Amino acid sequence: MGGPTNYSNEALKRMHGHLRISTAQFEELIDILVETLEDFDVEQQDIEITKKDMTDRSQYIVANS
């Protein structure tokens, strides 16, 4: 499958800006992702790294943040 795909912050903003994603919607996405990764027995450290990366970049995904 190859390595992870990397997106610049500018690309994230461009791809998500028109979607008007709210903070509540973004937080729900994070919760669902964490639950899914746990269901598939992904290591907790990997889950935390993924969650932190997404949270740190939320300003480029969530509208008006």
- Residues 10-38 have a mean pLDDT of 96
Tell me how far CA of residue 29 lies from CA of 2, 3, 22, 58, in angstroms. 24, 23, 11, 11
Q: What is the CA radius of gyration of the chain?
A: 13
d(CA 25, CA 6): 22
Residue with more model confidence, 27 or 4: 27
- Residues 26-30 have a mean pLDDT of 98
d(CA 38, CA 53): 17
